[in-house]
Amino acid sequence: MTLMVANNVIGDHEELLQTKVGTRFYYAEKQLDIAVIGQLLLISGTNETLDAVRDISLSLLVDDIHAYKAWLLEKGALLRQDITSVPTGFNMLIQHPDATVMEYVEHSHAVHV
C-alpha cells in the first residue's frame, strides 16, 4: 500500500524552499512515503507507522553522514541511532543539546537528487 505525500504539501514546500521535489519513494519496510525537496525529507504514513518517527523533528539530507556524525558528537550531541543502512543509503538519529531529535540521511549515488 502506498500513501504518497500529499501533492499540496509538496507544492507548499517547493514554494517555500524555491526548489522542486527531487525524489519520491515508498519505504516498504517501514510503510512510509518519502518526498525529497532540496535537503528536506517529508515523511508520510498512517498514525501507526508514523509512531516510529514521531519524535524526529526534522529529517535532513547530507552529503557525508560520517563527517556530520563526528562534528555533531564533538558539539555535544547524543547518538540515538548509529549509522544504519537503509534502502536509499544510510541514516542516523541525533539528539541535539537542546533535546531536538533529527534524522540525518545520506543517499547513495544511485538515488541522489
Instruction: Quick: pLDDT tens for 17-65.
Output: 999 998 888 888 889 998 989 888 888 999 999 998 899 999 999 999 9
> Is the alpha carbon torsion for 27, 94, 46, 63 positive or negative?
negative
Name the burial class of residue 45, with classes exposed (0-12), middle (13-18) and buried (19+) by CB atoms within 10 angstroms of its CB: buried
* Backbone angles phi and psi of 69, in degrees to 5: -60, -50
Q: In this prediction, what percent of the chain has a pLDDT beyond 70? A: 92
Closest CA to 7 of 30, 24, 19: 24
Within the chain, which residue ranges are assigned CATH 3.10.180.10?
55-113
Place of cell 558528537: 73
Q: Tell me the pLDDT band of 84, cut-offs 50, 70 and 90.
A: very high
CATH number of 55-113: 3.10.180.10
Note the pLDDT of residue 110.
60
